[in-house]
Every structure is written in C-alpha cells, then in structure tokens.
C-alpha cells in the first residue's frame, strides 16, 4: 500500500454524534468542489460516509476510548477514496445478523443494522478491514458526471 505520493486530506473528529454532520459536510463539499461526482452520486457518498462515521463513533463509545475518528480523502486517477478509521473493537460485517424479510412482522424488531447494506449499495466499492486496533472502512467512488457504472439500474 504505497500512497506516499497521493495527496491526502485528513479530518480528525471527536468520537461524538454531533460531529458526524461535519464529516459528511466536509466530504460532500470536497467532492462538490472537485466536480468529481454528479449530484445524486454526491448524495450517495454523503450518506455512505455518514453511516461509516456513525459506526466508527459508536465503536469508540462502546469501548470508551477517547481517540478521534480519522476521515481521509484521496483521489487517484478516475476514482476518489474516503477512508474512515476508528480505534474500536474491530468490526466484521460478516458477523451482522440477517434481517427477516421486509414482509415478515418480525422485521419491525430490527431497528439497526441497516447502515452496512446502505453503504454497500450506494458506493462503487467498499472494503472493511477490521483488526484488534480498530476498523478501517475504505469507500471508493469512480468519478465522472454520468455515474452510470455497468450493471446499474437507473430506470425509475
């Protein structure tokens, strides 16, 4: 992982809920200033970053660590990458419980666990890298105004 030559913008936020809004504002403003994404894709990135920061902050709260959550922005060729790094217990998305189908009345017992499926759907690529020292979530968006990557259904 050689990203020494890559220009990176870093934002450190205190692990408190009130800073999630700031993180998504900074990331969406950067994407907007760079004209990197069409408006609807910018909304997708904003929501995905918000979800990832929410998880990171909750991971710190759960573990009662004071460390800040790191948000790193970088651009490489035709893609932009946002990494959200926390010092929580290490989150493995494959351990998430399955939700019952939406038509099942039991579905109403699940108020949580929607963030990860949202991130996976909204962005072009996401990688979760949990370790004992925390979790790194790497979100990738391919740039370009149209934003219709192959396989996307956009007919609505």
Q: Phi, psi at residue 106, to the nearest 5°?
A: -65, -20
Query: Tokens in use for 86?
Result: 């926390």
- Interaction of residue 21 with other proteins, rule CB under 8 A: yes
Identify any residues that bridge with 126 across adjacent strands, giving them in sequence order.
139
Q: Which of 11, 13, 15, 20 binds other proteins (CB under 8 A)?
A: 20
Binding letters toward other proteins, positions 48-87, x by CB under 8 A: --xx--x--xx-----------------------------
Q: What are phi and psi of 10, to 5 degrees?
A: -115, 140
Nearest distance in Å: CB 21, other proteins: 5
| Three-class SS state of 156 | coil
* Both tokens assigned to 7: 């220009």
Q: What angle do CA 31, 56, 73 make, to 5 degrees?
A: 25
Distance of CA 108 to the CA centre of its chain: 25
Q: Which of these segments, 81-89, 97-105, 130-138, 144-152, binds other proteins (CB under 8 A)?
A: 97-105
37 binds other proteins (CB under 8 A): no
Q: Is 108 a residue that touches other proteins (CB under 8 A)? A: yes
Is residue 114 part of the contact set for other proteins (CB under 8 A)? yes
- Which stretches of 1-156 are DSSP H helices? 20-33, 39-63, 115-122
- Interface residues with other proteins (CB under 8 A) are 17-18, 20-21, 24, 40, 43, 46-47, 50-51, 54, 57-58, 101-103, 107-112, 114-115, 117-118, 121-122
């Amino acid at each position: 992982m050689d990203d020494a030559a890559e220009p990176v913008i870093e934002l450190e936020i205190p692990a408190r809920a009130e800073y999630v809004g700031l993180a998504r504002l900074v990331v969406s403003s950067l994407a907007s200033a760079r004209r990197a994404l069409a408006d609807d894709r910018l909304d997708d990135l904003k929501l995905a970053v918000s979800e990832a920061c929410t998880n990171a902050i909750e991971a710190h709260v759960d573990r009662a660590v004071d460390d800040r959550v790191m948000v790193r922005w970088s651009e490489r060729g035709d893609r932009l990458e946002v990494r959200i790094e926390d010092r929580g217990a290490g989150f493995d998305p494959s351990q998430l419980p399955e939700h019952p189908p939406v038509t099942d009345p039991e579905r109403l017992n699940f108020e949580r666990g929607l963030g990860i499926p949202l991130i996976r759907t909204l962005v072009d690529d996401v990688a979760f890298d949990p370790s004992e020292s925390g979790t790194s979530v790497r979100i990738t968006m391919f740039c370009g105004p149209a934003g219709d990557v192959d396989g996307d259904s956009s007919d609505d």
